[in-house]
Structure 1
Amino acid sequence: MSGDLIIGGGGSTAVATAELFSRARDLAMIGVRLHDCLAELSAVDRGVTAGMLRDADAPLSAASAERDIRDAIATIGATRSRLEHLGTALELSAERYGEAEDALHRLGQQVAAGAGYLFGLALPTIALVLLPAAVGFLGGAASGYALLSAESRRALGAALPVWFRRNSRALSDPGVVEAVRLSVMSADDVGAGVLRIPPDLARLVGDEGLGLVGLGTSASVARGAAGRLGALRETGVTVERALPVVASPAVTFAERAARIPEGDAQVRIDRYRSAGEADRFEVYIGGTRDFSVVAGTEPWDMTSNVAGIAGQDAGSSRAVREAMAAAGVSAASPVVFTGYSQGGLVAAQIAASGDYNAGGLFTLGAPAAQVAVPTSVPWLAVEHTDDIVPALGGTWASADPVLARRELFAGAPVDTSVAFPAHQLSAYRQTAALVDASGEARVERTLGALNSPERGATVESTLYTATRVRP
C-alpha cells in the first residue's frame, strides 16, 4: 500500500500529510457552521426575552425553551473554542514537523559535505596505494571503450536499464535515495578536499554558503571528462511538427499529467484561443527516452540530462524552445509548463530563464531541485521518496515550490519488472490524482494560478518530435 501524501513548501514551514490538512480544513468548516448556528440562536434569544414571555403569560414550556436556547448557546460557544484550539494545535504540529524536517535536511547536508571534504583530503593517499591496480583497470577500460564502435557504445549505455532493473529493490529504498541526494550534493566538497582548499573557504563558496560551486559544477566536470572519451557530447537538433488536433482544456493536475507525451513525440503544446484575449499556451515535456551516454538520434538522453543538471545548453532544452517558436509562443505569451523527469528539469529551467511569460509550473519526478525558479512563478513539484531520479537533482536549496511527496512502495513489494519502478510516469499520474483530491490550500492556490479564468476557449493541441543532428 502506498504511503501518505505529504505536502510542504510553497512559502510555508508547515509540512504534514494531506489527511491532516484535510482534517484541519474540516474543523474550520465545522467552526464556520457552528458560528452560523450561534448567530441564529443569539438572534432568537435577543428577540424573545424572559420578560416578554411573562408579559405574554406564555406557558412554562416557552420559558423552558428559552433556557434551552441559552444552554445551547453556551455549549456551542465552548465547542467552537475547543475546535479552535484543536485546529491551532494541528497547524502548530505541521509547522513544528516542517521545521524539524528542514533542520534534519540541513544537518544531513552539512555532515555529508564534511565527510566528502575529508574523503577528498584522503583521496590522493588512497589513490597512491591503489594506483597500480587503478591505472591498469581504468586504462584497460578506457582503451576498450575507445576502441568500441559508436553502435557498441550505445549498446553499452542501453545495458544500464537492465542493471537498474535487477537492482531496483535496493535502489528504491528511501534511505538509499536520500543518501544519493546528499552524495551528489557533496561531490563539490570532495573536489575541494582534493584541491586542499581551506575548509572555511570551501563551505563559503559551496552549497552551504554562497552556492558559487555545487552540483552544477560537479556535473560540468563530469561532462568535460566524459567528453574526452566521446561521451556526453551535445549536437544540433531538428524538430518536426505533427498536424494539430482539437482538445479540451486541462483543469486539474491529473489531467496535465495525462497529457505528458510518450512514444516518439517528446513535446506537446496546447494553444488556447479566446475571443478578445491573447492566446495562451501549455507546454508538456516528456522524460528521458535513451539512457546511452553517447549521443545518438534521441535528444532526450543522458547527454541532455547531464548538460541540464550542469546548467548548460542541453539538446532537449533547445528542442523545446524550437517547438515553442513553431507553435507561436512569444516572450509575451502566457505559458504554463508541465514536465516529467528530464522534461521537468527542462520545464523548470525554461520557466526560470525569464525568456517567457511563465504563468505556472508543474513537475513530476524531476531532478530540478537546484533550479532557481522565481517565487513569482507558481510551482507544484511531485516526488516519490523512493524514486532515485529526483534525488540526482540534489536538495531543495534554490527554490521553494509546493512539494507533494509520498513513498510509492510503502508496505508493498517493489516492482522489479522495470527500471526505476518508483519513477514510472503511470505512478506519478496516480499521485497527481491524489494531489488533486487533497484539497490542501497551497495546492488549490497553485492550481488556480495555472488555470486561466477565460471561458469558452478553444484548444488546439500539437505534438512535436525532436531528433539529434548526427555530427
Structure 2
Amino acid sequence: MSDSLTVSTGGLTSVSTEELFGFSAHLGSLARDARDWAHSASMARCLTEWSADAAPYGFAEPALSRAGRSLLETADSADRLSGVVRQAAEAYADGEARSRERVGAMQAFAGFLLGAYLRNLVIGALPMLPALALTALMMKQPPLRRAVAVLGAGIGGQLAGNTELMANPAFVRAVRGVVSAADDILMGAAGTGLPVARFLGDEGTGLVGLETVAAAAIILGGKHAFTPTPVHTNRAGSERPVRPPASLAEAAARIPSSGVGKPQVTVETYPDSAGKRSYAVYVAGTTDFGAESDEPFDMASNLAGLANSDSGSYTATLDAMEQAGVKPGDRVHLFGHSQGGLVAARVAASGVFDTQSLVTFGAPSGQVPVADSVTQVAVEHAEDIVPALGGAPVDGVEGRDRIVVSRSVFDELPPPGEFGSAHYMSEYERTAALIDESTDPRLFPLTDALAGIGPGAGVAQAFRAERVRPG
C-alpha cells in the first residue's frame, strides 16, 4: 500500500505538491542552520582575536572567516531556492484549480448534450407507446418479473465482483464527473437552452445543482426513497474524562464505528479558565443501507443529505449536540466519516455554530458550501467511490479553501473482495497518521486548529439515535 499523500484544493490533481513543499521547508531549515553555524564561526574567530587564552589558535582565523562567508552564502542560496520551489508548488496548485474549472465546464457541456439526446430519444419513442404499455402489462406477470430480477441481480453481482473496475481511480473520477454533470443532464432532458442551463447550473448562479437532482430523486422515489420520521436521541452510557486529541490520527480514532445498535455521535466538552466551552463532535458513517430502517444513519438520510434536507442523521447529530450543552455560537470542531462527514459539513455550513475546523473522511461532501473561515480538510482515497458520489467541489466564493488530501490505498490491484477497504475507517486512520507527519504548509492551519480544541481535560459523551416510526 502507498504512503504517498497528495494535497490539493480539490478536483483533479496531476502533480503531488507535498514533496515540493517539504523540500522547500527543508531548504528553509538548512538556511537557518547555516546562519547559526556562520554565527558560531564568527564567535570562534572573535575569541582567537580578543582572548589571550585562545591566541595560540589564531592561525585558524582565516579559515573561520572563509567558513563564515561560505555558510552565509549557502544560507542565502538555500533561502532563494526554497522560495523558488515554494512558488513552483503554488503555481502547480493554481494550475490544478484552473484545470478543474475547465474540466468541469466540459463535463457540464457533455452532460447537457447527453440530456438533450435522451429527450429526443424519448420524443422519438412516443409512437411506440402502445408497445411500451403492453410491455408494462407483461412485466406484471410473476415469471417475467422474476426473470428481470435475476438478470438485474446478475449484472449487479458482476459489477460488484469486478474489483479491478470498482477500485480503479479512473472509474472513481468518472463517477464523480457523471454525478457533477447530473444537473446538466437534467436540464438538457428538460429542453432548457444551453445559455439558460449554464446560467442556472454550477458554472453560473448554482440554482440548479446536485441538491436539485437529489431532491428530484426523492420526489420520484416517493416513500421508497425517503420517508421523514421523528428521531429519538438518548445518551449512551455515562460521561468519561478525556483530553483533547493530540493528533489527527487520534481524532480519527474517536469517530464512532458504524454498527446496528451502536452510538453514532460523540461530543467532547472542554471548558477553559474563563468558563467558556469548546466542543469536538465526532459523527459515524452509514449504519443501514436500506431506506426504511430504524437507523437514522441509513441510505434515506444519505439521499436527503445530498438534497440538503433535514435527514435523520442530521437531526440526530444536532440533538446530541444540544443534549451535550452546545449552544448556537459556541466553538466547535467537527469530524465525520462517510455519511457522518456529510452531516458534519452540513452542520458547519449552517452557520449556527462557530465552527473552527471540519475534517471529513471518505465523505460525499464536495458540494457543501462551507465558509472560508472554517479550516476544512477532506481526506479521500483514490479508490473510494463514496466521496465521488458528492460530485466535484463547489467553486463559489465559499468552499475555495477546502483542502483535499488523497492517497492511493492499493499500489496495484486490490485483493479479491477487498476493494471496499478503501472506504474503511481503519485505512483513513492510517492516512490521518501520514497527514500528521506531513510538512506541507497548507496543512499547518489544521495542526493549529487541532491544538486549539481544548485547553486541558474535558468530558466525552456518546449518543444513540433511532427513528420513531408510526405503529
How would you bin the TM-score normalised by the shorter chain? 0.7 to 0.9
Distance of 2:308 and 2:426 partners within structure 1 = 28
SS in 1 for 2:409: coil
Distance of 1:373 and 1:261 partners within structure 2 = 23
SS in 2 for 1:111: helix
Which range is displaced more, 1-10 or 92-101? 1-10
Instruction: Name which of 158, 165, 173 aligns with 2:168.
Output: 173
1:100 paired with 2:95, answer yes
Distance of 2:285 and 2:153 partners within structure 1 = 16
- Matched to 1:35, the amino acid is R
1:236 paired with 2:205, answer no
Query: 1:102/1:466 Cα in 2 relative to 1: closer, same or farther (>3 Å)?
Result: same
2:69 corresponding residue in structure 1? 74
SS in 2 for 1:388: coil
1:394 corresponding residue in structure 2? 391
List aligned pairs for 1:32-431, cutoff 5 A.
Answer: 32-43=32-43, 45=45, 62=58, 64-128=59-123, 132=128, 135=132, 139=136, 165-227=160-222, 230-249=224-243, 250-262=245-257, 263=259, 264-292=262-290, 294-398=291-395, 399=399, 400-409=401-410, 411-418=411-418, 420-431=420-431
Distance of 1:40 and 1:419 partners within structure 2 = 56
Shift of residue 116 of structure 1?
0.9
Distance of 1:379 and 1:102 partners within structure 2 = 17
Shift of residue 283 of structure 1?
1.0
Shift of residue 138 of structure 1?
8.8
Distance of 2:201 and 2:78 partners within structure 1 = 46
**Cα deviations by residue, 1:203-262 (Å, 9 ceiling, x for unpaired):** 1221112212111111111111111x6322222211121122424321211111101112
Distance of 2:278 and 2:154 partners within structure 1 = 42
1:440 corresponding residue in structure 2? 440
**Cα deviations by residue, 1:12-64 (Å, 9 ceiling, x for unpaired):** x9974433333322211111111122233345556777xx89x99x77x72x4
Distance of 1:468 and 1:162 partners within structure 2 = 31
SS in 2 for 1:392: helix
Query: 1:138/1:112 Cα in 2 relative to 1: closer, same or farther (>3 Å)?
Result: farther
Query: 1:214/1:135 Cα in 2 relative to 1: closer, same or farther (>3 Å)?
Result: farther
SS in 1 for 2:465: strand
SS in 1 for 2:390: coil
Distance of 1:366 and 1:258 partners within structure 2 = 16
Query: 1:187/1:65 Cα in 2 relative to 1: closer, same or farther (>3 Å)?
Result: same
Distance of 1:309 and 1:443 partners within structure 2 = 27
Please list every run of 5 or more consecutive structure 2 residues that lacks an aligned counterpart in the other structure.
none
CA contact (8 A) 2:269 2:277 kept: yes
Query: 1:241/1:135 Cα in 2 relative to 1: closer, same or farther (>3 Å)?
Result: farther
Shift of residue 81 of structure 1?
2.9
SS in 2 for 1:213: coil
TM-score (ref. length: structure 2):
0.86
Distance of 1:441 and 1:37 partners within structure 2 = 26
Distance of 1:68 and 1:28 partners within structure 2 = 26
Distance of 1:396 and 1:237 partners within structure 2 = 30
CA contact (8 A) 1:165 1:420 kept: no
Shift of residue 455 of structure 1?
4.0
List aligned pairs for 1:445-456, cutoff 5 A.
Answer: 445-452=445-452, 455-456=455-456
SS in 2 for 1:218: helix
**Cα deviations by residue, 1:329-369 (Å, 9 ceiling, x for unpaired):** 11133221110111001001101111122222111111111
Distance of 1:193 and 1:330 partners within structure 2 = 44
Distance of 1:378 and 1:144 partners within structure 2 = 56
SS in 2 for 1:420: helix
CA contact (8 A) 1:243 1:462 kept: yes
**Cα deviations by residue, 1:180-200 (Å, 9 ceiling, x for unpaired):** 111111111112212222212
Which range is displaced more, 205-214 or 16-25? 16-25
CA contact (8 A) 1:14 1:98 kept: no
- Matched to 1:200, the amino acid is P
Query: 1:9/1:190 Cα in 2 relative to 1: closer, same or farther (>3 Å)?
Result: closer
Distance of 1:225 and 1:240 partners within structure 2 = 33
Which range is displaced more, 399-408 or 218-227? 399-408
Which range is displaced more, 274-283 or 157-166? 157-166
Distance of 1:137 and 1:4 partners within structure 2 = 57
Distance of 1:368 and 1:127 partners within structure 2 = 33
CA contact (8 A) 2:42 2:68 kept: yes
Distance of 2:93 and 2:134 partners within structure 1 = 47
Distance of 2:316 and 2:155 partners within structure 1 = 25
- Matched to 2:165, the amino acid is A
Shift of residue 280 of structure 1?
2.3
**Cα deviations by residue, 1:149-172 (Å, 9 ceiling, x for unpaired):** xxxx9xxx9999967642343122
1:19 corresponding residue in structure 2? 19
Please list every run of 5 or more consecutive structure 1 residues that lacks an aligned counterpart in the other structure.
none
TM-score (ref. length: structure 1):
0.86
CA contact (8 A) 1:234 1:295 kept: no
Shift of residue 434 of structure 1?
0.6
Shift of residue 104 of structure 1?
2.2
Distance of 2:135 and 2:465 partners within structure 1 = 35
CA contact (8 A) 1:381 1:404 kept: yes
CA RMSD for the aligned pairs?
Answer: 3.3
CA contact (8 A) 2:278 2:454 kept: no
Query: 1:212/1:273 Cα in 2 relative to 1: closer, same or farther (>3 Å)?
Result: same
Distance of 2:132 and 2:38 partners within structure 1 = 82
